[in-house]
A and B are shown apart, each in its own frame.
Chain A
Protein backbone atom coordinates (compact mmCIF):
# COMPACT_ATOMS: atom_id res chain seq x y z
CA UNK A 1 0.00 0.00 0.00
CA UNK A 2 3.01 2.33 -0.52
CA UNK A 3 1.15 3.85 -3.44
CA UNK A 4 -1.48 5.10 -1.06
CA UNK A 5 0.86 7.43 0.78
CA UNK A 6 2.27 8.84 -2.42
CA UNK A 7 -1.18 9.43 -3.85
CA UNK A 8 -2.32 11.05 -0.64
CA UNK A 9 0.76 13.28 -0.68
CA UNK A 10 0.12 14.19 -4.31
CA UNK A 11 -3.49 14.96 -3.51
CA UNK A 12 -2.49 17.23 -0.63
CA UNK A 13 0.00 18.98 -2.90
CA UNK A 14 -2.68 19.44 -5.49
CA UNK A 15 -5.09 20.90 -3.01
CA UNK A 16 -2.52 23.29 -1.54
CA UNK A 17 -2.18 26.82 -2.93
CA UNK A 18 1.05 28.70 -3.45
CA UNK A 19 1.81 32.13 -2.08
CA UNK A 20 4.94 34.19 -1.61
CA UNK A 21 6.44 35.41 1.65
CA UNK A 22 6.07 38.99 0.44
CA UNK A 23 2.39 38.69 -0.14
CA UNK A 24 1.98 37.15 3.28
CA UNK A 25 3.89 40.05 4.80
CA UNK A 26 1.61 42.47 3.02
CA UNK A 27 -1.27 40.79 4.71
CA UNK A 28 0.45 41.40 8.02
CA UNK A 29 1.62 37.85 8.61
CA UNK A 30 4.96 37.79 10.38
CA UNK A 31 5.43 34.16 11.20
CA UNK A 32 4.22 30.93 9.63
CA UNK A 33 4.14 27.38 10.95
CA UNK A 34 5.35 24.77 8.45
CA UNK A 35 3.77 21.33 8.28
CA UNK A 36 5.48 18.82 5.99
CA UNK A 37 3.52 16.68 3.58
CA UNK A 38 4.78 13.48 5.17
CA UNK A 39 3.44 14.69 8.46
CA UNK A 40 0.05 15.47 6.95
CA UNK A 41 -0.12 12.07 5.31
CA UNK A 42 0.79 10.40 8.57
CA UNK A 43 -1.87 12.43 10.37
CA UNK A 44 -4.56 11.41 7.89
CA UNK A 45 -3.55 7.79 8.21
CA UNK A 46 -3.55 8.00 11.96
CA UNK A 47 -6.92 9.68 11.95
CA UNK A 48 -8.39 6.98 9.73
CA UNK A 49 -6.97 4.29 11.97
CA UNK A 50 -8.07 5.96 15.17
CA UNK A 51 -11.63 6.44 14.02
CA UNK A 52 -11.71 2.87 12.78
CA UNK A 53 -10.22 1.55 16.00
CA UNK A 54 -13.03 3.03 17.99
CA UNK A 55 -15.52 0.98 15.96
CA UNK A 56 -13.68 -2.13 14.91
CA UNK A 57 -11.02 -4.44 16.12
CA UNK A 58 -8.07 -6.34 14.68
CA UNK A 59 -8.32 -7.94 11.27
CA UNK A 60 -11.60 -6.31 10.49
CA UNK A 61 -10.03 -2.91 10.97
CA UNK A 62 -7.16 -3.79 8.66
CA UNK A 63 -9.58 -4.99 6.04
CA UNK A 64 -11.70 -1.86 6.21
CA UNK A 65 -8.64 0.36 6.14
CA UNK A 66 -7.30 -1.47 3.11
CA UNK A 67 -10.63 -1.28 1.38
CA UNK A 68 -10.80 2.44 2.08
CA UNK A 69 -7.33 2.96 0.67
CA UNK A 70 -8.19 0.94 -2.40
CA UNK A 71 -11.33 2.91 -2.89
CA UNK A 72 -9.37 6.12 -2.55
CA UNK A 73 -6.86 5.00 -5.18
CA UNK A 74 -9.64 3.88 -7.45
CA UNK A 75 -11.36 7.24 -7.17
CA UNK A 76 -8.12 9.05 -7.92
CA UNK A 77 -7.53 6.90 -10.98
CA UNK A 78 -11.01 7.32 -12.34
CA UNK A 79 -10.74 11.04 -11.75
CA UNK A 80 -7.59 11.06 -13.85
CA UNK A 81 -9.36 9.16 -16.61
CA UNK A 82 -12.13 11.69 -16.57
CA UNK A 83 -9.66 14.56 -16.74
CA UNK A 84 -8.01 12.98 -19.76
CA UNK A 85 -11.30 12.58 -21.56
CA UNK A 86 -12.29 16.12 -20.70
CA UNK A 87 -9.07 17.62 -22.03
CA UNK A 88 -9.47 15.57 -25.22
CA UNK A 89 -12.87 17.17 -25.80
CA UNK A 90 -11.48 20.56 -24.96
CA UNK A 91 -8.66 20.04 -27.46
CA UNK A 92 -11.16 19.11 -30.17
CA UNK A 93 -13.15 22.20 -29.38
CA UNK A 94 -10.12 24.45 -29.49
CA UNK A 95 -9.04 23.03 -32.82
CA UNK A 96 -12.47 23.60 -34.31
CA UNK A 97 -12.49 27.14 -32.98
CA UNK A 98 -9.06 27.85 -34.45
CA UNK A 99 -10.18 26.49 -37.77
CA UNK A 100 -13.24 28.70 -37.77
CA UNK A 101 -11.11 31.68 -36.92
CA UNK A 102 -8.74 30.98 -39.81
CA UNK A 103 -11.60 30.50 -42.20
CA UNK A 104 -13.22 33.74 -41.11
CA UNK A 105 -9.98 35.66 -41.66
CA UNK A 106 -9.46 34.17 -45.10
CA UNK A 107 -13.04 34.92 -46.02
CA UNK A 108 -12.59 38.58 -45.07
CA UNK A 109 -9.39 38.85 -47.14
CA UNK A 110 -11.12 37.36 -50.16
CA UNK A 111 -14.03 39.76 -49.80
CA UNK A 112 -11.64 42.70 -49.72
CA UNK A 113 -9.76 41.42 -52.73
CA UNK A 114 -12.98 41.07 -54.67
CA UNK A 115 -14.09 44.58 -53.77
CA UNK A 116 -10.73 46.04 -54.77
CA UNK A 117 -10.78 44.22 -58.05
CA UNK A 118 -14.26 45.42 -58.90
CA UNK A 119 -13.29 49.03 -58.09
CA UNK A 120 -10.04 48.78 -60.02
CA UNK A 121 -11.94 47.44 -62.99
CA UNK A 122 -14.32 50.39 -63.04
CA UNK A 123 -11.46 52.92 -62.73
CA UNK A 124 -9.41 51.30 -65.46
CA UNK A 125 -12.33 51.43 -67.85
CA UNK A 126 -12.89 55.12 -67.14
CA UNK A 127 -9.17 55.92 -67.61
CA UNK A 128 -8.97 54.00 -70.80
CA UNK A 129 -12.02 55.72 -72.28
CA UNK A 130 -10.62 59.10 -71.43
CA UNK A 131 -7.31 58.37 -73.15
CA UNK A 132 -8.95 56.89 -76.17
CA UNK A 133 -11.34 59.79 -76.51
CA UNK A 134 -8.49 62.30 -76.48
CA UNK A 135 -6.58 60.34 -79.12
CA UNK A 136 -9.61 60.20 -81.38
CA UNK A 137 -10.27 63.94 -81.04
CA UNK A 138 -6.70 64.65 -81.89
CA UNK A 139 -6.79 62.51 -84.97
CA UNK A 140 -10.01 64.05 -86.17
CA UNK A 141 -8.45 67.52 -85.71
CA UNK A 142 -5.44 66.49 -87.74
CA UNK A 143 -7.60 65.20 -90.58
CA UNK A 144 -9.64 68.38 -90.58
CA UNK A 145 -6.62 70.56 -90.62
CA UNK A 146 -5.12 68.70 -93.59
CA UNK A 147 -8.44 68.86 -95.37
CA UNK A 148 -8.66 72.63 -94.81
CA UNK A 149 -5.18 73.13 -96.13
CA UNK A 150 -6.10 71.32 -99.32
CA UNK A 151 -9.12 73.63 -99.79
CA UNK A 152 -11.70 70.97 -99.87
CA UNK A 153 -15.44 71.62 -100.56
CA UNK A 154 -16.93 72.55 -97.15
CA UNK A 155 -15.46 72.12 -93.73
CA UNK A 156 -18.74 70.96 -92.27
CA UNK A 157 -19.12 68.27 -94.89
CA UNK A 158 -15.64 67.07 -94.34
CA UNK A 159 -15.97 67.08 -90.56
CA UNK A 160 -19.15 65.11 -90.61
CA UNK A 161 -17.69 62.54 -92.91
CA UNK A 162 -14.49 62.11 -91.00
CA UNK A 163 -16.16 61.87 -87.60
CA UNK A 164 -18.56 59.32 -88.93
CA UNK A 165 -15.74 57.31 -90.36
CA UNK A 166 -13.56 57.43 -87.33
CA UNK A 167 -16.29 56.73 -84.82
CA UNK A 168 -17.45 53.80 -86.83
CA UNK A 169 -14.01 52.25 -86.80
CA UNK A 170 -13.27 53.10 -83.22
CA UNK A 171 -16.53 51.92 -81.74
CA UNK A 172 -16.14 48.57 -83.49
CA UNK A 173 -12.65 48.20 -82.06
CA UNK A 174 -13.76 49.36 -78.72
CA UNK A 175 -16.60 46.89 -78.51
CA UNK A 176 -14.44 43.88 -79.26
CA UNK A 177 -11.70 45.03 -76.92
CA UNK A 178 -14.24 45.62 -74.20
CA UNK A 179 -15.75 42.20 -74.64
CA UNK A 180 -12.36 40.56 -74.31
CA UNK A 181 -11.56 42.55 -71.23
CA UNK A 182 -14.94 41.88 -69.67
CA UNK A 183 -14.58 38.17 -70.25
CA UNK A 184 -11.21 38.20 -68.51
CA UNK A 185 -12.48 40.23 -65.59
CA UNK A 186 -15.62 38.13 -65.15
CA UNK A 187 -13.48 35.02 -64.90
CA UNK A 188 -11.43 36.52 -62.12
CA UNK A 189 -14.44 37.80 -60.29
CA UNK A 190 -16.22 34.52 -60.73
CA UNK A 191 -13.23 32.62 -59.34
CA UNK A 192 -13.12 34.87 -56.36
CA UNK A 193 -16.82 34.48 -55.77
CA UNK A 194 -16.53 30.72 -56.05
CA UNK A 195 -13.74 30.65 -53.48
CA UNK A 196 -15.79 32.76 -51.14
CA UNK A 197 -18.72 30.38 -51.49
CA UNK A 198 -16.47 27.44 -50.70
CA UNK A 199 -15.01 29.17 -47.71
CA UNK A 200 -18.49 29.93 -46.48
CA UNK A 201 -19.46 26.26 -46.76
CA UNK A 202 -16.33 25.18 -44.93
CA UNK A 203 -17.09 27.72 -42.24
CA UNK A 204 -20.62 26.37 -41.85
CA UNK A 205 -19.39 22.81 -41.54
CA UNK A 206 -16.73 23.64 -39.01
CA UNK A 207 -19.20 25.61 -36.97
CA UNK A 208 -21.56 22.65 -36.96
CA UNK A 209 -18.73 20.41 -35.83
CA UNK A 210 -17.98 22.78 -33.05
CA UNK A 211 -21.60 22.68 -31.97
CA UNK A 212 -21.50 18.90 -31.98
CA UNK A 213 -18.36 18.85 -29.87
CA UNK A 214 -19.94 21.31 -27.48
CA UNK A 215 -23.07 19.16 -27.30
CA UNK A 216 -21.03 16.10 -26.34
CA UNK A 217 -21.93 15.83 -22.71
CA UNK A 218 -18.92 15.63 -20.55
CA UNK A 219 -18.11 11.95 -20.87
CA UNK A 220 -20.31 9.87 -18.57
CA UNK A 221 -18.15 8.16 -16.04
CA UNK A 222 -20.94 5.81 -15.02
CA UNK A 223 -22.24 5.05 -11.55
CA UNK A 224 -20.42 2.65 -9.27
CA UNK A 225 -22.05 -0.58 -8.29
CA UNK A 226 -22.61 -1.07 -4.60
CA UNK A 227 -20.62 -4.30 -4.91
CA UNK A 228 -16.83 -4.49 -4.95
CA UNK A 229 -16.78 -8.20 -5.64
CA UNK A 230 -18.84 -11.03 -6.98
CA UNK A 231 -21.54 -11.89 -4.47
CA UNK A 232 -23.24 -15.24 -4.75
CA UNK A 233 -25.79 -16.61 -2.31
CA UNK A 234 -25.28 -15.67 1.31
CA UNK A 235 -25.02 -18.72 3.58
CA UNK A 236 -27.94 -17.72 5.77
CA UNK A 237 -30.27 -16.98 2.85
CA UNK A 238 -33.85 -18.30 2.94
CA UNK A 239 -34.22 -21.49 0.92
CA UNK A 240 -30.47 -21.33 0.20
CA UNK A 241 -30.27 -24.98 -0.87
CA UNK A 242 -33.14 -24.69 -3.31
CA UNK A 243 -31.74 -21.47 -4.74
CA UNK A 244 -28.35 -23.10 -5.20
CA UNK A 245 -29.99 -25.85 -7.24
CA UNK A 246 -31.88 -23.36 -9.36
CA UNK A 247 -28.74 -21.33 -10.05
CA UNK A 248 -26.97 -24.50 -11.14
CA UNK A 249 -29.89 -25.32 -13.41
CA UNK A 250 -29.82 -21.89 -15.06
CA UNK A 251 -26.08 -22.11 -15.46
CA UNK A 252 -26.30 -25.52 -17.08
CA UNK A 253 -28.89 -24.34 -19.58
CA UNK A 254 -26.74 -21.35 -20.44
CA UNK A 255 -23.59 -23.42 -20.80
CA UNK A 256 -25.44 -25.59 -23.28
CA UNK A 257 -26.64 -22.52 -25.11
CA UNK A 258 -23.11 -21.22 -25.33
CA UNK A 259 -21.83 -24.54 -26.67
CA UNK A 260 -24.47 -24.41 -29.39
CA UNK A 261 -23.45 -20.88 -30.22
CA UNK A 262 -19.82 -21.84 -30.55
CA UNK A 263 -20.27 -25.23 -32.12
Chain B
Protein backbone atom coordinates (compact mmCIF):
# COMPACT_ATOMS: atom_id res chain seq x y z
CA UNK B 1 0.00 0.00 0.00
CA UNK B 2 1.02 3.64 -0.31
CA UNK B 3 3.20 5.56 2.11
CA UNK B 4 0.29 7.19 3.90
CA UNK B 5 -0.16 3.95 5.73
CA UNK B 6 3.07 4.38 7.65
CA UNK B 7 2.39 7.90 8.82
CA UNK B 8 1.15 8.27 12.34
CA UNK B 9 -1.81 10.51 11.56
CA UNK B 10 -5.34 9.21 11.41
CA UNK B 11 -7.79 9.22 8.55
CA UNK B 12 -11.04 11.09 8.87
CA UNK B 13 -13.79 10.10 6.46
CA UNK B 14 -16.58 12.54 5.84
CA UNK B 15 -19.82 11.74 4.04
CA UNK B 16 -21.69 14.82 2.86
CA UNK B 17 -25.20 15.24 1.53
CA UNK B 18 -25.26 18.54 -0.30
CA UNK B 19 -28.97 19.38 -0.40
CA UNK B 20 -30.99 22.30 -1.64
CA UNK B 21 -32.34 23.24 1.74
CA UNK B 22 -30.03 21.30 4.02
CA UNK B 23 -26.44 20.08 4.00
CA UNK B 24 -25.67 17.17 6.29
CA UNK B 25 -22.40 15.50 7.21
CA UNK B 26 -21.61 12.27 8.93
CA UNK B 27 -17.98 11.56 9.83
CA UNK B 28 -15.79 8.73 11.09
CA UNK B 29 -15.14 10.56 14.36
CA UNK B 30 -18.79 10.21 15.28
CA UNK B 31 -19.81 13.74 14.36
CA UNK B 32 -23.13 14.27 12.57
CA UNK B 33 -24.36 17.72 11.76
CA UNK B 34 -26.85 19.37 9.52
CA UNK B 35 -27.03 23.02 8.48
CA UNK B 36 -29.40 24.93 6.24
CA UNK B 37 -27.78 25.48 2.84
CA UNK B 38 -27.77 29.25 3.26
CA UNK B 39 -24.78 31.59 3.22
CA UNK B 40 -24.89 35.32 4.02
CA UNK B 41 -22.36 38.13 3.71
CA UNK B 42 -22.72 41.50 5.52
CA UNK B 43 -24.28 44.09 3.20
CA UNK B 44 -21.94 46.88 4.22
CA UNK B 45 -19.21 47.90 6.64
CA UNK B 46 -21.72 48.88 9.31
CA UNK B 47 -23.39 45.45 9.27
CA UNK B 48 -20.00 43.80 9.28
CA UNK B 49 -18.95 45.73 12.38
CA UNK B 50 -22.23 44.91 14.05
CA UNK B 51 -22.17 41.20 13.19
CA UNK B 52 -18.42 40.92 13.81
CA UNK B 53 -18.21 38.28 11.06
CA UNK B 54 -17.42 38.10 7.37
CA UNK B 55 -19.66 35.12 6.62
CA UNK B 56 -22.73 33.68 8.32
CA UNK B 57 -24.24 30.26 7.73
CA UNK B 58 -27.45 28.34 8.11
CA UNK B 59 -29.92 29.44 10.73
CA UNK B 60 -27.82 32.41 11.80
CA UNK B 61 -27.78 33.70 8.22
CA UNK B 62 -31.55 33.29 8.01
CA UNK B 63 -32.10 35.09 11.32
CA UNK B 64 -29.88 38.05 10.39
CA UNK B 65 -30.90 38.16 6.73
CA UNK B 66 -31.87 41.85 6.86
CA UNK B 67 -28.25 42.94 7.20
CA UNK B 68 -26.94 40.30 4.81
CA UNK B 69 -26.68 39.48 1.17
CA UNK B 70 -28.04 35.94 1.26
CA UNK B 71 -27.24 33.07 -1.12
CA UNK B 72 -28.77 29.62 -1.47
CA UNK B 73 -26.04 28.26 -3.71
CA UNK B 74 -27.69 24.90 -4.38
CA UNK B 75 -31.13 26.05 -5.33
CA UNK B 76 -33.07 23.60 -7.49
CA UNK B 77 -30.63 20.91 -6.49
CA UNK B 78 -27.93 22.22 -8.77
CA UNK B 79 -24.97 24.35 -7.94
CA UNK B 80 -25.74 27.49 -9.88
CA UNK B 81 -22.20 28.16 -11.06
CA UNK B 82 -21.57 26.38 -14.34
CA UNK B 83 -17.95 27.23 -14.98
CA UNK B 84 -18.56 29.16 -18.17
CA UNK B 85 -15.89 31.64 -19.14
CA UNK B 86 -18.43 34.42 -19.36
CA UNK B 87 -19.45 34.07 -15.75
CA UNK B 88 -21.37 36.99 -14.36
CA UNK B 89 -20.84 38.49 -10.93
CA UNK B 90 -23.84 36.77 -9.43
CA UNK B 91 -22.67 33.34 -10.61
CA UNK B 92 -19.24 34.01 -9.14
CA UNK B 93 -20.82 35.01 -5.86
CA UNK B 94 -22.82 31.77 -5.84
CA UNK B 95 -19.70 29.71 -6.41
CA UNK B 96 -17.98 31.51 -3.55
CA UNK B 97 -21.03 30.85 -1.36
CA UNK B 98 -20.97 27.15 -2.31
CA UNK B 99 -17.26 26.97 -1.48
CA UNK B 100 -17.80 28.64 1.86
CA UNK B 101 -20.75 26.37 2.63
CA UNK B 102 -18.77 23.22 1.88
CA UNK B 103 -15.92 24.55 4.01
CA UNK B 104 -18.30 25.25 6.87
CA UNK B 105 -19.85 21.79 6.62
CA UNK B 106 -16.36 20.26 6.81
CA UNK B 107 -15.45 22.42 9.81
CA UNK B 108 -18.59 21.08 11.47
CA UNK B 109 -17.04 17.62 11.17
CA UNK B 110 -14.26 18.94 13.46
CA UNK B 111 -11.31 17.31 11.69
CA UNK B 112 -7.97 17.31 13.48
CA UNK B 113 -5.21 19.19 11.74
CA UNK B 114 -2.96 16.17 11.74
CA UNK B 115 -5.43 13.83 10.08
CA UNK B 116 -5.99 13.08 6.44
CA UNK B 117 -9.45 14.15 5.41
CA UNK B 118 -11.18 12.11 2.70
CA UNK B 119 -14.64 13.22 1.70
CA UNK B 120 -17.41 11.76 -0.43
CA UNK B 121 -20.12 14.17 -1.49
CA UNK B 122 -23.53 13.01 -2.59
CA UNK B 123 -24.65 15.56 -5.15
CA UNK B 124 -28.09 15.85 -6.73
CA UNK B 125 -28.44 13.29 -9.51
CA UNK B 126 -29.47 15.97 -11.99
CA UNK B 127 -26.29 18.03 -11.49
CA UNK B 128 -24.53 18.56 -14.81
CA UNK B 129 -20.89 17.67 -15.36
CA UNK B 130 -19.97 21.33 -15.06
CA UNK B 131 -21.81 21.62 -11.80
CA UNK B 132 -20.15 18.52 -10.44
CA UNK B 133 -16.77 19.94 -11.36
CA UNK B 134 -17.64 23.12 -9.51
CA UNK B 135 -18.59 21.15 -6.40
CA UNK B 136 -15.31 19.24 -6.49
CA UNK B 137 -13.38 22.46 -6.97
CA UNK B 138 -15.13 23.97 -3.99
CA UNK B 139 -14.41 20.96 -1.78
CA UNK B 140 -10.78 20.50 -2.75
CA UNK B 141 -9.82 23.67 -0.93
CA UNK B 142 -10.77 22.02 2.36
CA UNK B 143 -9.92 18.32 2.18
CA UNK B 144 -7.04 16.09 1.12
CA UNK B 145 -9.07 14.17 -1.41
CA UNK B 146 -12.67 14.31 -2.52
CA UNK B 147 -15.04 12.22 -4.62
CA UNK B 148 -18.49 12.86 -5.85
CA UNK B 149 -21.31 10.43 -6.34
CA UNK B 150 -24.98 10.82 -6.99
CA UNK B 151 -27.12 11.33 -3.93
CA UNK B 152 -29.66 8.53 -4.61
CA UNK B 153 -26.76 6.13 -5.08
CA UNK B 154 -25.26 7.00 -1.72
CA UNK B 155 -28.66 6.57 -0.03
CA UNK B 156 -29.03 3.08 -1.53
CA UNK B 157 -25.40 2.11 -0.85
CA UNK B 158 -25.90 2.96 2.80
CA UNK B 159 -28.41 0.10 2.98
CA UNK B 160 -26.28 -2.29 0.90
CA UNK B 161 -28.83 -2.08 -1.89
CA UNK B 162 -26.33 -2.03 -4.70
CA UNK B 163 -28.30 -2.40 -7.89
CA UNK B 164 -31.77 -2.17 -9.32
CA UNK B 165 -33.14 0.16 -6.69
CA UNK B 166 -35.75 2.84 -7.04
CA UNK B 167 -34.94 5.72 -4.69
CA UNK B 168 -37.68 8.24 -3.91
CA UNK B 169 -36.47 11.39 -2.20
CA UNK B 170 -39.30 13.52 -0.83
CA UNK B 171 -37.85 16.92 -0.03
CA UNK B 172 -39.35 20.33 0.58
CA UNK B 173 -39.62 21.63 -2.97
CA UNK B 174 -39.41 18.46 -5.05
CA UNK B 175 -39.98 14.72 -5.01
CA UNK B 176 -37.19 13.06 -6.98
CA UNK B 177 -37.41 9.49 -8.23
CA UNK B 178 -34.28 7.83 -9.44
CA UNK B 179 -33.65 4.35 -10.81
CA UNK B 180 -30.22 3.05 -9.84
CA UNK B 181 -28.44 0.39 -11.83
CA UNK B 182 -24.83 1.49 -11.55
CA UNK B 183 -23.40 4.49 -9.82
CA UNK B 184 -24.30 7.37 -12.11
CA UNK B 185 -27.92 7.56 -13.18
CA UNK B 186 -28.67 9.09 -16.53
CA UNK B 187 -31.31 11.56 -17.53
CA UNK B 188 -33.73 8.77 -18.43
CA UNK B 189 -33.36 7.23 -14.99
CA UNK B 190 -34.88 10.23 -13.25
CA UNK B 191 -38.24 11.89 -12.80
CA UNK B 192 -39.01 14.92 -10.70
CA UNK B 193 -42.27 16.36 -9.40
CA UNK B 194 -42.83 19.58 -7.57
CA UNK B 195 -45.37 17.99 -5.25
CA UNK B 196 -43.40 17.59 -2.00
CA UNK B 197 -43.29 18.92 1.58
CA UNK B 198 -44.10 22.53 0.68
CA UNK B 199 -47.08 21.48 -1.44
CA UNK B 200 -48.45 19.43 1.46
CA UNK B 201 -48.14 22.50 3.70
CA UNK B 202 -50.00 24.65 1.19
CA UNK B 203 -52.78 22.09 0.83
CA UNK B 204 -53.12 21.68 4.58
CA UNK B 205 -53.30 25.48 5.01
CA UNK B 206 -56.07 25.60 2.42
CA UNK B 207 -58.05 22.81 4.09
CA UNK B 208 -57.69 24.38 7.56
CA UNK B 209 -58.78 27.81 6.31
CA UNK B 210 -61.78 26.19 4.65
CA UNK B 211 -62.89 24.02 7.57
CA UNK B 212 -61.95 26.14 10.59
CA UNK B 213 -63.44 29.58 10.03
CA UNK B 214 -61.69 32.31 11.95
CA UNK B 215 -58.65 30.16 12.84
CA UNK B 216 -55.41 32.10 12.60
CA UNK B 217 -52.17 30.41 11.54
CA UNK B 218 -48.92 30.83 9.65
CA UNK B 219 -47.26 28.50 7.14
CA UNK B 220 -44.65 27.70 9.77
CA UNK B 221 -47.34 26.60 12.25
CA UNK B 222 -48.96 24.41 9.60
CA UNK B 223 -45.59 22.86 8.77
CA UNK B 224 -44.96 22.04 12.41
CA UNK B 225 -48.40 20.45 12.74
CA UNK B 226 -47.69 18.35 9.67
CA UNK B 227 -44.27 17.26 10.95
CA UNK B 228 -45.84 16.27 14.27
CA UNK B 229 -48.96 14.47 13.00
CA UNK B 230 -48.41 13.85 9.27
CA UNK B 231 -49.90 10.53 8.12
CA UNK B 232 -51.71 8.81 5.28
CA UNK B 233 -54.11 5.88 5.48
CA UNK B 234 -55.51 5.00 8.88
CA UNK B 235 -54.56 7.48 11.57
CA UNK B 236 -52.85 6.15 14.67
CA UNK B 237 -53.80 9.14 16.82
CA UNK B 238 -56.12 12.13 16.57
CA UNK B 239 -54.46 15.39 15.66
CA UNK B 240 -55.96 17.75 18.19
CA UNK B 241 -54.31 21.17 18.04
CA UNK B 242 -54.91 24.65 19.37
CA UNK B 243 -55.22 27.58 16.99
CA UNK B 244 -56.18 31.12 18.00
CA UNK B 245 -59.59 32.40 16.94
CA UNK B 246 -59.81 36.17 17.39
CA UNK B 247 -56.86 35.87 19.77
CA UNK B 248 -58.42 33.10 21.88
CA UNK B 249 -56.80 29.62 21.80
CA UNK B 250 -59.36 27.22 20.36
CA UNK B 251 -59.14 23.46 19.97
CA UNK B 252 -59.53 21.86 16.55
CA UNK B 253 -59.37 18.25 15.42
CA UNK B 254 -57.36 18.37 12.18
CA UNK B 255 -56.90 14.60 11.73
CA UNK B 256 -58.95 14.38 8.59
CA UNK B 257 -57.39 17.48 6.97
CA UNK B 258 -53.85 16.28 7.66
CA UNK B 259 -54.51 12.83 6.19
CA UNK B 260 -56.00 14.40 3.11
CA UNK B 261 -53.19 16.94 2.62
CA UNK B 262 -50.42 14.32 3.02
CA UNK B 263 -52.08 11.99 0.56
CA UNK B 264 -51.36 14.39 -2.33
CA UNK B 265 -47.85 12.90 -2.27
CA UNK B 266 -49.05 9.45 -3.37
CA UNK B 267 -50.23 10.16 -6.88
CA UNK B 268 -47.05 11.71 -8.30
CA UNK B 269 -44.98 8.99 -6.61
CA UNK B 270 -47.06 6.29 -8.29
CA UNK B 271 -46.85 8.05 -11.63
CA UNK B 272 -43.08 8.22 -11.30
CA UNK B 273 -42.72 4.57 -10.24
CA UNK B 274 -44.90 3.43 -13.13
CA UNK B 275 -42.85 5.38 -15.63
CA UNK B 276 -39.46 4.20 -14.36
CA UNK B 277 -40.55 0.57 -14.06
CA UNK B 278 -42.25 0.46 -17.46
CA UNK B 279 -39.14 1.77 -19.24
CA UNK B 280 -36.79 -0.63 -17.42
CA UNK B 281 -35.38 -3.87 -18.81
CA UNK B 282 -38.43 -6.22 -18.59
CA UNK B 283 -36.31 -8.95 -17.05
CA UNK B 284 -35.56 -6.74 -14.02
CA UNK B 285 -38.85 -4.90 -13.65
CA UNK B 286 -40.12 -7.22 -10.94
CA UNK B 287 -36.91 -6.79 -8.96
CA UNK B 288 -37.11 -3.01 -9.25
CA UNK B 289 -40.71 -2.97 -8.03
CA UNK B 290 -39.64 -4.88 -4.96
CA UNK B 291 -36.84 -2.48 -4.12
CA UNK B 292 -38.45 0.89 -3.66
CA UNK B 293 -36.71 3.11 -1.12
CA UNK B 294 -38.39 6.12 0.50
CA UNK B 295 -36.00 8.86 1.67
CA UNK B 296 -35.93 12.59 2.46
CA UNK B 297 -37.75 14.53 5.18
CA UNK B 298 -41.13 13.98 3.54
CA UNK B 299 -40.78 10.20 3.91
CA UNK B 300 -41.44 10.67 7.62
CA UNK B 301 -45.15 11.00 6.89
CA UNK B 302 -46.53 8.03 8.82
CA UNK B 303 -48.00 5.21 6.76
CA UNK B 304 -46.60 6.51 3.49
CA UNK B 305 -44.69 3.29 2.78
CA UNK B 306 -47.76 1.09 3.20
CA UNK B 307 -49.89 3.55 1.24
CA UNK B 308 -47.48 3.47 -1.70
CA UNK B 309 -47.30 -0.33 -1.48
CA UNK B 310 -51.08 -0.55 -1.51
CA UNK B 311 -51.32 1.74 -4.54
CA UNK B 312 -48.61 -0.30 -6.30
CA UNK B 313 -50.62 -3.50 -5.68
CA UNK B 314 -53.65 -1.91 -7.26
CA UNK B 315 -51.95 -0.30 -10.23
CA UNK B 316 -48.82 -2.38 -10.84
CA UNK B 317 -49.80 -5.75 -9.48
CA UNK B 318 -47.45 -5.61 -6.50
CA UNK B 319 -44.33 -4.08 -5.03
CA UNK B 320 -42.35 -3.60 -1.84
CA UNK B 321 -41.49 -0.26 -0.24
CA UNK B 322 -38.95 0.41 2.49
CA UNK B 323 -38.52 3.67 4.30
CA UNK B 324 -34.95 4.50 5.35
CA UNK B 325 -34.47 4.80 9.06
CA UNK B 326 -32.78 8.17 9.18
CA UNK B 327 -34.19 10.32 6.40
CA UNK B 328 -32.10 13.35 7.34
CA UNK B 329 -28.77 11.50 7.41
CA UNK B 330 -29.48 8.78 4.86
CA UNK B 331 -27.41 10.43 2.12
CA UNK B 332 -24.54 11.44 4.41
CA UNK B 333 -24.34 8.00 6.05
CA UNK B 334 -24.21 6.30 2.66
CA UNK B 335 -21.51 8.68 1.44
CA UNK B 336 -19.50 7.92 4.59
CA UNK B 337 -19.76 4.21 3.87
CA UNK B 338 -18.55 4.76 0.30
CA UNK B 339 -15.59 6.76 1.63
CA UNK B 340 -14.73 3.92 3.99
CA UNK B 341 -14.92 1.27 1.27
CA UNK B 342 -12.89 3.25 -1.28
CA UNK B 343 -9.38 1.76 -1.75
CA UNK B 344 -6.40 3.86 -0.70
CA UNK B 345 -4.84 4.19 -4.17
CA UNK B 346 -8.00 5.75 -5.53
CA UNK B 347 -7.84 8.44 -2.89
CA UNK B 348 -4.15 8.98 -3.53
CA UNK B 349 -4.64 9.40 -7.25
CA UNK B 350 -7.23 12.11 -6.77
CA UNK B 351 -5.13 14.20 -4.42
Contact = CB atoms under 8 A, between A and B. Distances in A.
B110 interface: yes
Contact of A222 (B4, B110, B341, B350): B110
Contacts of A254: 136, 147-148, 350
Interface string A163-195: 000000000000000000000000000000000
Interface string A200-239: 0000000000001000000011111111111111000111
Given A223-B29, A239-B162, A247 B341 contact: yes
9 contacts: A73-B8, A223-B29, A224-B29, A225-B111, A230-B5, A232-B342, A238-B160, A254-B136, A257-B148
- Which one of B115, B340, B346 has the greatest number of beta carbons of chain A within 10 Å? B346
Interface of A: 70, 73-74, 77-78, 81, 212, 220-233, 237-239, 242-243, 246-251, 253-255, 257-258, 260-261
Interface in B22-47: 27-31
Given A253-B183, A257-B136, A232 B343 contact: yes
Given A212-B52, A228-B11, A246 B183 contact: yes
Contact of A261 (B5, B10, B114, B136): B136
B12 interface: yes
Nearest to A232: B343
Contacts of B194: none
A239 to B, nearest CB: 6
A125 to B, nearest CB: 45
Contacts of B222: none
A238 B157 CA distance: 12
Contact of A225 (B13, B133, B350): B13
Contact of B10 (A81, A228, A251): A228
A249 B182 contact: yes
A243 to B, nearest CB: 6
Given A250-B149, A260-B133, A261-B136, A223 B11 contact: no
A232 B1 CA distance: 11
A233 B343 contact: yes
Given A257-B133, A258-B350, 20 more contacts: A78-B114, A212-B52, A222-B115, A223-B31, A224-B29, A225-B27, A225-B111, A225-B112, A226-B29, A227-B12, A228-B8, A229-B11, A230-B11, A230-B343, A230-B347, A242-B163, A246-B182, A250-B147, A253-B183, A260-B129
A261 B183 contact: no
B137 interface: yes
Contacts of B4: 229-230
A77 B115 CA distance: 13
A221 B343 contact: no
A222 B111 contact: yes
A229 B7 CA distance: 8
B10 A227 contact: yes
Nearest to B28: A225
B159 to A, nearest CB: 12
B19 to A, nearest CB: 20
A226 B11 CA distance: 8
Contacts of B12: 225, 227
B132 interface: yes
Interface string B173-205: 000000000111000000000000000000000
Contacts of B209: none
A208 to B, nearest CB: 9
Contact of B342 (A221, A224, A250): A250
B29 A247 contact: no
B338 interface: yes
B344 interface: yes
- Which one of A74, A222, A226, A250 has the greatest number of beta carbons of chain B within 10 Å? A250
B238 interface: no
Interface string B311-343: 000000000000000000000000000101111
A160 B342 CA distance: 116
A249 B260 CA distance: 43
B349 interface: yes
B183 A225 contact: no
B97 to A, nearest CB: 19
Nearest to A249: B183
Which A-B residue pairs are the 7 nearest by beta carbons?
A222-B112, A225-B12, A230-B344, A223-B29, A251-B346, A225-B10, A232-B343
